[in-house]
Amino acid sequence: MSKNSEYLIERENKQYEVIIGLEVHAQVTSESKLFSQSSTKFGAEPNTQVSLVDAAFPGMLPVINEFCIDQAIKTGIGLKAKINKKSVFDRKNYFYADLPQGYQISQYKYPIVGEGKVILDMPYGQKEIGIERLHLEQDAGKSIHDIDPNNTLVDLNRSGVALMEIVSKPDLRSPDEVNVYIKKLRSIMRYLGTCDGNMQEGSLRADVNVSVRLKGETEFGTRCEIKNVNSIKFMQMAIISEANRQIDLLEEGKDIDQETRLFDTKRNETRSMRSKEDAHDYRYFPDPDLLPLEISQELIEKIKSDIPELPDEKKKRFIDKFNLSPYEATILVSDIETSNFFEEVIKNSDVKLATNWITGELFAVLNEKNLEISQSPVSAKNLSKLINLIKDGTISGKIAKTVFEQMIDGDQDPLIIVKEKGLKQESDPKAIEELINKVIENNSDKVAEYKSGKDKLFGFFVGQAMKESKGKGNPQLINKILKEKLNG
Amino acid sequence: MSDITSQSLFELTSNVKEKKLSSGEITKAFIDRAEKSKKLNVYVTDNFEKAIDQSKKFDSNPNFDLKLPGIPIAVKDLFCTNGVRTTAGSKILNNFVPTYESTVTQNLWSQGAILLGKLNCDEFAMGSSNETSFFGNVQNPVGENLVPGGSSGGSSAAVAANLTPVTIGTDTGGSIRQPASFTGTVGLKPTYGSCSRYGIVAFASSLDQAGPMTKNVRDCSILLEVISSFDQKDSTSIDYKRNCYSKELSKDIKGKKIGIPKEYRVDNMPDEIEQLWKNGISYAKDCGAEIIDISLPHTNYALPTYYIVAPAEASSNLARYDGVKYGFRSPGQNLIEMYEKTRSEGFGDEVKRRIMIGTYVLSSGYYDAYYLKAQKVRKLIKKDFDDAFSKVDAILTPSTPSSAFKIGEKTNDPVSMYLNDIFTVPINLAGLPGISIPAGKDKNNYPLGLQVIGKPFDEQNILNISYALEDKINFKNDISDWWLSE
């Protein structure tokens, strides 16, 4: 089933393959921090959500927030991964002004979640990306260098916030796959409610590992890690730029140094941050303030039973039950809000029409207005009413578009619009026949031409009839009666 | 009635309850004596004014149901006390005033005790003689220019010199028991997980325990009863049913099996310690206990193991003292320079030595050879005790390999200083309870202690054995008050 895209970078008859692995840092959706009761709310005044534990006062001790553990287990289940019954919190020691303890509590040798997988829907088929592990760790605070000209300021609101680090295997092969992978990961976590995936607020960031090799080569090249990239676009740019940098080096016969790099978004290039020799020695060791984390099978089962239907399963159901194309199903399940909206609409209306209207008209409006589906100007209820009006022949698809345009303004009820504007479709055969007779009468010359073999004129008659009905004539009926009259 | 300050906690509490003494009288007596005892240098910070106010407040509305009714108590300066400076004996916390209270001290105040002040200790509890304190060494009331032991040296001296009725110390490798032994007092290190570590300045988290330091075993049982509690704020605190140690205190130890580990007969141990141990054994026999020879084969590895594990944890625990958030800061041109200046000026030599050792043993390439191996040996040491406790109810050993030494005698020889902890360290590594009781004197008339080691959570048993031995030993600490000034 797995198939590689052929994303290759060419250099004088040579083709290079790009190998990518991601370490995604996803903020756990939780009211309070991983080891303290401080709030995690985004956007608060600096240093207003800091407990004595977060600021590492003498004698303060971390106490695990069990909700965050549940969230990590849930995410692990969503990634079809092994949940480790025993895991250990370690200290990762390094000095920095926004790291109050002088160490980050993380999981090193024994993470809470082991190997799993994520399925990507690529244009060339499905591709499985392996998950190496998921572990829990605390976020650091934030150093602010651009407010005071002489000092660095520190905001500890983020200090101690729970993060899940999700490490992929080096299975990604192109910027497109990275795009789909991040979106899929985000989608799964949003379905689960374990991470809001908000990249603007820093809830989802990634360290990107990139290496290159000649096509056909089986050994991996030397990789570089690009730290802390916070949007999909920047990840893609960083990958392309870094891969080309590495290829240029190889082409010049130089070696690639294993190092940590930063992506300069303004100059669209990566810069060396520290070499392997300068790499921190984090002196990991088990945090003696915390006991090893033991998880019972009972808890895992309990969480499993609460897992909602995830995108892959939902997609399968949409295809099997509603006869949607894989493409349509993929679009509709990509975001939980979208799939919920879709299911709400089809409760009382036609599936095919609903699919077309949501992925067509509604998405166009959302795109144009830059809105999320949760902010849709048209409610599922009213969209479903509109679809029913089309289905039962009250209005034509064309009229429906006019009605929809008006519905956008304040989520108006389509029934009322149709009534008030008199847009109801004319479906009475007698009335249609009458107006067709009128058209035939007024265009006798054209009728003669038609009868002499100018078939193309049929469209002209339809147009005239439609015009005569002020756009309200049932198109199918007009077609049918016109044919009878003209061919009869 | 004897002089107020020489009374035991039990006597003072009874006198308060019988309204023979008020909290105000007691508090004033201890403060008066402290004013004349500055030469001992036991206090880093006193709380005398507030203590007087609080004692008056207690007397105006006394609650005699409390276990420590209006009793003034000084505590080791490693416990964070709300609104009262807490230094851990270090320059780096010289100006640090917590806005919170440690659970253990809160337990004292909840039972009616009043804070007299904060007692001197080795810097971050690293030391065996109280000589590493930024606030100067403490004099042992037993004799001039004699160390009081460490790290809870201010605490042991304060109890021995009648400057506090009882106190609490912390013990990471012997820091309660060794100073107790050096000053002729009683000191107990509870089972790891018995007393909350919340609000105690951390030295080595997997070893640190708070515990009582008192004049006698009965007081020790009362104080343990007060300070031991399950605390959700400390993830290593253990939720188990704690005894009413003082109520269940008994001298009846008939039939108890007491183990004598052969490995504790170390080379060059003074004859008088050997003799002390023999006496202890015969007293135990007199009380009807059964003496059983046991082996703790990995004893020799305990000290090196300890001096890997404890510095490793300390190097990480002390990283937070960086000049950024609180405490001492020495300004620099940039962050790194500020760190370097703050930490080199803020920490003393012994602390720096241990931070360096700890950093080294955790470094990549050395971790497996040192830290990981030490953790494995620690398991073996624990297993030695588990095996022994399948045959015996408690273990009896000397508390220290020598009596108190002179100030300055070992400051330039860290290894000889570390050897002081040889009998106490294994107990911390195994997480067991251990108590030191005064059991005799050496040729200089300096006190010597015996240590009783128990099974996890079996504090009652070692208290009872100590209570019985105390009665037989009938130790008298003749302290001449040589330091008193007018």
The mean pLDDT value of chain A amounts to 93
Whether B310 has a pLDDT exceeding 90, the answer reads: yes
Nearest neighbour of B198 by CB, restricted to A55, A59, A100? A59
**pLDDT exceeds cutoff 60 at A488:** yes
pLDDT at A377 (0 to 100): 94
Residue B419 lies in a domain: no
Residues of chain B with Cβ-Cβ distance to A58 below 8 Å are: 80, 86, 88, 93, 96, 98, 201-202, 320
Count of domains observed in chain B: 1
* pLDDT tens-digit readout, A378-424: 999 999 999 999 998 888 888 899 899 999 988 999 999 988 887 78
> Which residues of chain B does A64 touch, with a Cβ-Cβ cutoff of 8 Å?
235
The tokens of B16 are what? 């308060």
N- to C-terminal Cα distance for chain B? 24
Question: What is d(CA A113, CA A373) in angstroms, rounded to the nearest whole number?
Answer: 32
Instruction: Tell me: pLDDT of B396 over 50.
Output: yes
User: What's the mean pLDDT in A215-224?
Assistant: 94
Residue B184 included in any domain:
yes
The helix/strand/coil state of B188 is strand
Q: Which residues contact A278 (CB under 8 A, 6 or more apart)?
A: none
Per the CB < 8 A criterion, the answer to whether A354 and A389 are in contact is no
Task: Summarize pLDDT for B264-309 with one digit per residue, the tens.
Answer: 998 888 899 999 999 999 999 999 999 999 999 999 999 999 999 9
**Mean of pLDDT values over A474-483:** 86
Question: Span B336-362, mean pLDDT?
Answer: 97
Contact of A177 with A127, CB cutoff 8 Å: yes
Q: Is the pLDDT of residue A235 over 60?
A: yes
Radius of gyration of chain B (CA): 21
The domain that holds B24 is classified in CATH as: 3.90.1300.10
A1 pLDDT higher than 50: no
The 3-state DSSP class for residue A404 equals: helix
Of the options 1.20.200.10, 1.10.10.410, 3.40.50.720, 1.20.1050.90, the CATH number for the domain spanning A429-487: 1.10.10.410
Does any domain span residue B313?
no
CA angle A304, A309, A310 (to 5 degrees): 95
- DSSP SS3 for B75: strand
The answer to whether position B246 is within a domain reads yes
The whole-angstrom distance between A134's CA and the closest CA on chain B is 23
Indicate if B175 belongs to the active site.
yes
In chain A, which residue's Cα lies nearest the Cα of B99?
A52
**Contacting residues of B for A61, CB less than 8 Å apart:** 197-198, 233-235
Q: At B156, which helix (H) or strand (E)?
A: helix B153-160
What are the residues whose beta carbons fall under 8 Å from the beta carbon of A92, sequence distance 6 or more? A103, A104, A105, A106, A108, A137, A282, A284
Which of B79, B235, B325 faces A100 most closely, judged by CB atoms? Answer: B325
Q: Is the peptide bond before B151 cis (omega within 30 degrees of 0)?
A: yes
pLDDT at B411: 86
Residue B185 — pLDDT band, cuts 50, 70, 90? Answer: very high
Evaluate whether residue B363 is within a structural domain.
no
Per-residue model confidence as pLDDT tens digits over A25-60: 999 999 999 999 999 999 999 999 999 999 999 999
Segments forming the whole domain that contains residue B202: 4-257
Which residues of chain A neighbour B200 with C-beta distances below 8 Å?
Answer: 59
Q: Which residues of B touch A288 (CB under 8 A)?
A: 204-206, 236, 313
Residue B250 lies in a domain: yes
Residue in B55, B90, B128, B175 annotated catalytic: B175
> Phi first, then psi: what are they for B418, rounded to 5°?
-65, -30
Chain A residues 135-174 within an 8 A CB cutoff of chain B: 152, 154
pLDDT tens-digit series, residues A139-191: 999 999 999 988 889 999 999 999 999 999 999 999 999 999 999 999 999 99
Instruction: Find chain A residues with C-beta within 8 A of B339's C-beta.
Output: 95
Query: Do B185 and B166 meet the contact criterion of CB atoms below 8 Å apart?
Result: no
Confidence at residue B131, expressed as pLDDT on a 0 to 100 scale: 97
Strand-pair partners of A83:
A113
For A153, name the nearest residue in chain B, comparing CA atoms only: B324
> Looking at this predicted complex, what is its ipTM?
0.96
Phi, psi of B123 (to 5 degrees): -55, 120
Query: Which regions of A276-376 does DSSP assign to beta strands (E)?
Result: 285-286, 293-294
Q: What is the pLDDT of residue A5?
A: 55
Distance from the B337 Cα atom to the nearest Cα atom in chain A, whole angstroms: 12
Helices and strands counted in chain A (H then E): 16, 16
Residue B313 C-alpha, separation from nearest chain A C-alpha, in angstroms: 8
Residue A323 pLDDT level (bands cut at 50, 70, 90)? very high
Gap from A189 CA to chain B (nearest CA, Å): 29
H or E stretch at A308: none
- Whether A93 has its CB under 8 Å from any CB of chain B: the answer is yes
Contact criterion met (CB below 8 Å) for B433 and B465: no
Is residue B354 within a helix (H) or strand (E), and if so which, with residue range?
helix B349-362
CB A1 within 8 A of CB A126: yes
A59 touches chain B (CB under 8 A): yes
Query: B interface toward A at CB cutoff 8 Å?
Result: 79-80, 86, 88, 93, 96, 98-100, 102, 197-202, 204-206, 232-236, 312-313, 315-316, 318-320, 322, 324-326, 335, 339, 359, 362-364, 367, 371
Q: Which band of pLDDT confidence, cut at 50, 70 and 90, is reported for residue B393?
A: very high
Percentage of residues of chain A with pLDDT beyond 70: 99
Q: Where are the domains of chain A?
A: 9-303, 309-421, 429-487
Whether residue A4 has pLDDT greater than 60: no
Residue B90 within any structural domain of the chain: yes
Show the 3-state SS of A2-22. Answer: CCCCCCEEEECCEEEEEEEEE
The confidence score (pLDDT) of residue A2 equals 41
Q: Residue B41 falls within a domain, yes or no?
A: yes
Token pair for A276:
């392997």
Helix (H, G, I), strand (E, B) or coil at B73: strand
Q: Residue A3 — pLDDT band, cuts 50, 70, 90?
A: very low
Lowest mean pLDDT among B39-43, B247-251, B265-269: B265-269
Count of beta carbons in the 10 Å neighbourhood of residue B255: 9
